[in-house]
Chain A
Amino acid sequence: MTAYLLRRLAISLGVFTVMSVLVFLGVEALPGDACTALLGRSATATKLAQCRGANGLNASVSHRLIDWASGLLRGDLGFSIKRGKSVVDIVLPRLRNSLALATVASLMAFPLAIVVGVWSARRKGTRVARAVDTVSLVLMTMPEFVTASVLWLLFAVWLPLLPGVTMVSSNASLLEILPNIWLPAITLALVVFAHVMRSMRASFLVTEERPFVEAARARGIAERVVVRRHILPAALPAPINVIAVTAAWLLTGTFVVEVVFNFPGLGRIAVDAISDRDTALILALTLFGLVVFIASSFVSDAVTRALDPRMRAQVAS
């Protein structure tokens, strides 16, 4: 297993290196640069040349790639000309907020989704199970801004229990931000819950039909043990994969929810950065998304392998 993990880690690093170069070149290829974005309509040829000279944009692409990569190794993500700040200073507090938001949503959604998924699979066909199924389908397919708007209307406007729009700045202390986390976190948790729950439920039902489950039951093994030892280990890989994907989404795909609640996280700054074409910031945020994606598929593969003796055996040999 250790050998497998090391090999997999090496592959991940390789993928990251290649992909980050591609991302850099991709952002380079976008029409316009930081200076056209900064100057906007007031851009003239001389002003643009001045701006580019001042910010080192006249160097060749390969030169700037090396500059950027060596900066990356030193923990320097570049400078946002548009915002007049170093990218690290912009991203770090928002990363903290996004992590807090994702953590709260994960804690609310994942354990509950696994439990409810198994529960509803075991009560398949009952009215409650069907109701849970329908509700989760609705939650899964609604756009987040619809869910978010409805929750906001319910809990911030009609029943003013929770603050709706965040008014605190991005670098306020966590304690100040915490009250503002609830509504976005609940919105995200609902969406994520539905995905994981349905995957757990479907996987459980498919596994339960397999002959070894009938065989275990026929041996007189207690139902509790059948579920825990025979069904669950075989049924978990599918929802674990979904958890990995959705966890990555919680960190990188929450643009809409953050905009709805004006939450000072990475999603909202990404929307802003894209709207005003802040390429340095876009580059850093895309890179972060890449890291999260690679990490999540790494974790999910490792857990899936650990659960499957066939794969374990392959790894050992």
Chain B
Amino acid sequence: MSAGAVIVGGHLLLALAASVLPLQSVVAQDSNAILQGASGAHWLGTDSLGRDVLSRTLHGGQPSIGVALVAVLLAAVLGFGLGTFAALVGGWLDDAIMRVVDVLLAMPSLLVLMLVASFIGREPVVLVATLALMYAPPIARVVRGASGNVLTRDFILAARLRGASRRAIVVGEVLPNIAEVFITEVAMQFTWILLAFSSLSFLGLGTSPPTAEWGLMISDARGFITVSPLPLLAPVAMLASLVLGVNALVDRRAQAALP
């Protein structure tokens, strides 16, 4: 098992286990113990409101990982459907779809997210939907490119000569040949969604306080790093290791896919 798999698996486990582990309260404030260093009572110290950093750090992955997972699944379905559809129909409709995809790709996703969060609302449903829409285009583009290449190959003609339906061509001939690229791209987009969402929280437009979320925790801790760097470093380490873990995993898969 690769290091990437271990890290990503560990993160998922921790995020799930945080709710059942005997951790201190995420929100309980202790005004007598603010910005303390590591101690027996608080293994990673406390933040500026005297909350337990360890507990907040372990819980802090739940919102971002949850939102990113659901959003990336939706984006994957959307992107795959759009990409294969465009490749299959070809012609002007293909061009039109890919133009729209290009325009969506060119929009700065963080800007759109901020606008949505500020004007429409920051409920998870709204953010997940926006993220899925913003991150489906790159997946559609990759799927379109890869299936376009597959569709020009002679085995597609051979399948048509045997009476294969469009669905049979997509599912039976194209899909097995683009699965690798597709999975890799989806995993990459998962990290970008994760980053976009925590950036949004960092800017104060994502998760609302007092919920524990890494981006928000980093934002809160910035003003106090001269006193205690732990509230900053703990979520930084978690976010960094998760992103790197997914990348290591993707890198390995991509390398294994090479001939």
B119 engages A32 (CB within 8 Å) = yes
Answer yes or no: A141 CB below 8 A from chain B CBs: yes
Answer yes or no: B195 CB below 8 A from chain A CBs: yes
**A271 to B206, alpha carbons, bound, how many Å?**
13
A142 engages B111 (CB within 8 Å) = no
Query: What 0/1 readout, one digit per residue, does chain A (59-90) give for beta carbons within 8 Å of chain B?
Result: 00000000000000000000000000000000
User: Counting chain A CB atoms within 10 Å of each CB, which of B111, B114, B218, B225 scores highest?
Assistant: B111
A146 engages B205 (CB within 8 Å) = no
Q: Is the interface of A mostly helix, strand, loop or mixed?
A: helix
Given A253-B108, A256-B199, does the pair A145, B215 have CB atoms closer than 8 Å? yes
B115 engages A30 (CB within 8 Å) = yes
**A186 to B229, alpha carbons, bound, how many Å?**
21
CB interface residues, B 185-221, toward A, < 8 Å: 191, 195, 198-199, 202-205, 215, 218-219
Answer yes or no: A153 CB below 8 A from chain B CBs: yes
B222 engages A149 (CB within 8 Å) = yes
A255 engages B110 (CB within 8 Å) = yes
Contact-residue size bin, chain A (C-beta under 8 Å from the other chain): 20 to 34
**A293 to B111, alpha carbons, bound, how many Å?**
14
Answer yes or no: A14 CB below 8 A from chain B CBs: no
B243 engages A142 (CB within 8 Å) = yes
A31 engages B119 (CB within 8 Å) = yes
A271 engages B226 (CB within 8 Å) = no
B236 engages A275 (CB within 8 Å) = no
* Contact residues in B for A274 (Cβ distance below 8 Å): 111, 114-115, 118, 205
Query: What 0/1 readout, one digit per residue, does chain B (50-63) give for beta carbons within 8 Å of chain A?
Result: 00000000000000
Identify which of B108, B119, B236, B247 contacts A146 (C-beta below 8 A): B236
Answer yes or no: A232 CB below 8 A from chain B CBs: no
* Contact residues in A for B195 (Cβ distance below 8 Å): 141, 143
Given A146-B218, A146-B236, A150-B236, does the pair A141, B119 have CB atoms closer than 8 Å? no
Answer yes or no: B41 CB below 8 A from chain A CBs: no
Given A141-B244, A146-B236, A157-B225, does the pair A259, B106 have CB atoms closer than 8 Å? no
Q: Is the interface of B mostly helix, strand, loop or mixed?
A: helix
A142 engages B205 (CB within 8 Å) = no
Contact-residue size bin, chain B (C-beta under 8 Å from the other chain): 20 to 34
Query: What 0/1 readout, one digit per residue, does chain A (181-203) give for beta carbons within 8 Å of chain B?
Result: 00000000000000000000000
Answer yes or no: A94 CB below 8 A from chain B CBs: no
* Contact residues in A for B249 (Cβ distance below 8 Å): none
A275 engages B205 (CB within 8 Å) = yes
* Contact residues in B for A32 (Cβ distance below 8 Å): 119
Q: A14: shortest Cβ distance to chain B, in Å?
A: 14
Answer yes or no: B35 CB below 8 A from chain A CBs: no
Q: B53: shortest Cβ distance to chain A, in Å?
A: 15
Identify which of A30, A142, A271, A293 contacts B203 (C-beta below 8 A): A271
Given A141-B191, A145-B218, does the pair A256, B226 have CB atoms closer than 8 Å? no
B118 engages A277 (CB within 8 Å) = yes
Interchain Cβ contacts under 8 Å between A and B, 21 examples: A138-B244, A141-B195, A141-B247, A142-B243, A143-B195, A150-B236, A152-B225, A153-B232, A157-B229, A252-B111, A253-B108, A255-B111, A255-B114, A255-B199, A255-B203, A270-B111, A274-B114, A274-B115, A274-B118, A282-B115, A289-B108
List 14 extra interface pairs beyond A145-B202, A149-B232, A253-B108, CB under 8 A.
A30-B119, A143-B239, A145-B215, A146-B240, A253-B110, A256-B203, A259-B203, A271-B203, A274-B118, A274-B205, A275-B205, A286-B111, A289-B108, A293-B106
B: which residues have CB within 8 A of A?
A: 106, 108, 110-111, 114-115, 118-120, 191, 195, 198-199, 202-205, 215, 218-219, 222, 225-226, 229, 232, 236, 239-240, 243-244, 247, 251
